[in-house]
């Protein structure tokens, strides 16, 4: 800031008498100018915050309104709630002592693929009218979405209301989130439980309990146990593993036969048709690339390598101070190595959106990452038939790009060329994210090392007798 000395020193204020403190007057005037500029900056900042909050609120209103319009136009299509039926019927079977596994539930006769502990939790639901259960499950989803996004922004180091609203608005139109809500799935509930647990302080006494409970309902969150252990949060890892073990014990105590059947090998079974397009795991991709009967050994080898490398990236990210990157890398690793990761299981792209709020990253990097997530996993208006064939006469409906690939009735086993690429692009995107994670960890390590060397150089210079202390750029020696 430059100041005109003539304007600063108004000589009329000094008069003609002697002994007037010119330096004191100059200091007072300069302080006044700085104070005015500080107040102006604060006012501009407040206006920017208010504008950002207004934009975020507007985006959230548009996102929710768009949903309401779609549901009102065709509720039978957008509110199928098929999985909600399975949860309720499995809970009823558990309540009445009927077998949980080996039979299908609902009109589609879908299998129950969760641990017995989950069936025990669903038992009270069977006493609630199905309409009430639908409303409860659907209303819980957006609330859990907000909790998950807030947890992600907390791990990113910047919980700004405007960013929270804008991120929730974008997340509400991601295909995994849409599928979760329309099928009546629990993925957003489990996501919120895990993210709230992980966003707690490492000194929190019961950190890990949420992960243990979530893993007792669906096994995928188990990936966070080794993540916590190797990143130095061993008490939280032990708590998570202990709580998960407790859910197994409760299951055996309540449903011994079903528990023996599930933990005896059924938990490795992929449910219905794991080679379908919507199974976006390494197992599903390999089954589509090769013969399903010969892909088991190949999947176990590939999954073991990806598990080791993915967890290594996650742990390194956490130890370099990039906790959200570590959490999302661990989650993506779990999705890739799971026998089945339906597209609605990929709600972990929601915390990925939180990476746009990492303060230490450049705006270009954050914008590129956020744009890639929205483009790849967004819900876009397309004219395609239910089997993936583009048809100009088909109704214009929102859908994920993945649905363009020919699918169902075994069509996935006959893909060629680019169909093998865009039909597996969730898996390929997950692998690409882990590779990007390697570069982001390396970049942070280099920057941290440069700052440490700069600090050491500064201390060395100021300790030299008679030396003038000067800042040292990172990399100087």
DSSP labels for 84-96?
A: HHHHHHHHHHHHH
Return the closest-CA partner of residue 303 out of 265, 338, 276, 268. Answer: 338
406: exposed, middle or buried (Cβ count in 10 Å: 0-12, 13-18, 19+): middle
Binned at pLDDT 50, 70 and 90, residue 25 comes out as low
CA 98/CA 254 separation, integer angstroms: 12
* pLDDT over 60 at 393, yes or no: yes
Report the pLDDT value the prediction gives residue 27, as an integer from 0 to 100. Answer: 58
**Residue range 371-397: mean pLDDT, rounded:** 82
Kind plus residue range of the DSSP H or E element containing 450: helix 425-462
> Based on C-alpha coordinates, what's the Rg of the chain?
28
Least confident of 46-60, 203-217, 431-445: 46-60
Is there a contact between 318 and 231 (Cβ–Cβ < 8 Å)? yes
83: exposed, middle or buried (Cβ count in 10 Å: 0-12, 13-18, 19+): buried
**Better-predicted residue by pLDDT, 304 or 111:** 304
Q: What is the pLDDT of residues 168-200, one digit of tens each?
A: 999 999 999 999 998 889 999 999 999 999 999
CA 340/CA 286 separation, integer angstroms: 12
Which residue bears the tokens 């914008």?
A: 367
Crossing angle (nearest 10°) for helices 295-319 and 282-289: 140
Q: Of 130-134, 369-373, 413-417, which has the strongest mean pLDDT? A: 369-373
Is there a contact between 419 and 403 (Cβ–Cβ < 8 Å)? no
- Mean pLDDT value across the chain: 83
SS3 category, 103: coil
**Residue range 282-288: mean pLDDT, rounded:** 90
Is there a contact between 14 and 29 (Cβ–Cβ < 8 Å)? no
Report the pLDDT value the prediction gives residue 447, as an integer from 0 to 100. Answer: 78
Q: What is the pLDDT of residues 64-105, one digit of tens each?
A: 898 888 888 888 777 778 888 889 988 899 888 888 987 888
pTM, entire model = 0.84
Return the closest-CA partner of residue 353 out of 331, 311, 324. Answer: 324
Return the percentage of the chain with pLDDT > 90, whole number: 43
Rounded to the nearest 5 percent, the helix, strand and coil shares of the chain are 70, 5, 25
Return the closest-CA partner of residue 430 out of 141, 176, 171, 170. Answer: 176
Is there a contact between 122 and 86 (Cβ–Cβ < 8 Å)? no
Return the closest-CA partner of residue 430 out of 322, 339, 287, 333. Answer: 333
Q: Where are the beta strands (DSSP E) in 307-459?
A: 380-382, 397-399
**Residue 59 DSSP one-character state:** H
Total number of residues shown for the chain: 477
CA 458/CA 453 separation, integer angstroms: 9
Binned at pLDDT 50, 70 and 90, residue 110 comes out as confident
DSSP states of 232-299 as a string?
T-HHHHHHHHHHHHHHHHHHHHH-HHHHHHHHTTGGGS-SS-TTSTTB-SHHHHHHHHS-GGGHHHHH
Is there a contact between 83 and 183 (Cβ–Cβ < 8 Å)? yes
Q: What is the pLDDT of residues 317-333, one digit of tens each?
A: 999 999 999 999 999 99
* pLDDT over 90 at 372, yes or no: yes
* pLDDT over 50 at 358, yes or no: yes
Report the pLDDT value the prediction gives residue 311, as an integer from 0 to 100. Answer: 96
Token digits of residue 452: 């440490």
Token digits of residue 271: 């449910």
Report the pLDDT value the prediction gives residue 476, as an integer from 0 to 100. Answer: 45
Which residue bears the tokens 């589509």?
A: 288
CA 331/CA 320 separation, integer angstroms: 18
């Amino acid at each position: 800031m430059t100041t005109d000395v003539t304007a600063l020193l108004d000589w009329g204020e000094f008069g003609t008498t002697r002994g007037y403190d010119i330096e004191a007057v100059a200091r007072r005037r300069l302080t006044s100018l700085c104070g005015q500029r500080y107040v102006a900056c604060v006012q501009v900042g407040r206006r920017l915050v208010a504008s950002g909050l207004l934009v975020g609120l507007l985006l959230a209103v548009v996102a929710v309104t768009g949903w309401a319009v779609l549901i009102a136009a065709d509720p039978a299509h957008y509110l199928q709630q098929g999985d909600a039926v399975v949860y309720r019927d499995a809970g009823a079977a558990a309540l009445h002592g009927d077998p949980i596994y080996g039979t299908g539930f609902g009109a589609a006769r879908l299998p129950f693929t969760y641990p017995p502990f989950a069936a025990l939790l669903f038992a009270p639901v069977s006493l609630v009218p199905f309409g009430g259960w639908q409303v409860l499950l659907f209303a819980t989803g957006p609330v859990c979405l907000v909790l998950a996004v807030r947890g992600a922004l907390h791990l990113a180091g910047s919980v700004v209301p405007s960013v929270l609203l804008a991120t929730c608005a974008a997340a509400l139109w991601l295909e995994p989130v849409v599928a979760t809500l329309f099928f009546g799935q629990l993925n957003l509930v489990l996501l919120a439980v895990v993210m709230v647990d992980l966003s707690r302080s490492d000194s929190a006494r019961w950190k890990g309990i949420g992960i243990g409970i979530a893993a007792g309902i669906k096994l995928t969150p188990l990936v966070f146990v080794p993540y916590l252990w190797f990143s130095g949060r061993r008490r939280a890892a032990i708590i998570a593993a202990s709580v998960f073990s407790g859910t197994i014990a409760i299951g055996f105590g309540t449903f011994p036969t079903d528990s023996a059947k599930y933990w005896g090998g059924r938990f490795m079974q992929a449910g219905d048709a794991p080679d379908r397009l919507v199974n976006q795991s390494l197992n599903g991709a390999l089954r589509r690339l090769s013969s399903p009967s010969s892909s088991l050994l190949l999947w176990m080898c590939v999954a073991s390598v990806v598990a080791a490398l993915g967890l290594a990236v996650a742990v390194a990210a956490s130890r370099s101070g990039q906790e959200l990157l570590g959490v999302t890398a661990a989650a993506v690793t779990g999705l890739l190595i799971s026998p089945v990761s339906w597209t609605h299981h990929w709600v972990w792209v929601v915390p990925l959106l939180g990476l746009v709020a990492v303060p230490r990253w450049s705006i270009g990097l954050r914008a590129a990452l956020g744009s890639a997530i929205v483009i790849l996993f967004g819900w876009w208006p397309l004219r395609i038939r239910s089997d993936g064939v583009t048809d100009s006469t088909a109704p214009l409906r929102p859908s994920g790009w993945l649905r363009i690939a020919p699918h169902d009735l075994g069509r996935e086993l006959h893909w060629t060329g680019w169909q093998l690429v865009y039909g597996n692009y969730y898996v390929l995107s997950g692998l690409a994210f882990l590779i990007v994670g390697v570069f982001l960890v390396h970049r942070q390590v280099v920057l941290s090392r440069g700052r440490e060397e700069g600090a050491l150089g500064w201390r060395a210079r100021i300790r030299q007798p008679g030396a003038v202390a000067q800042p040292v750029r990172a990399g100087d020696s």
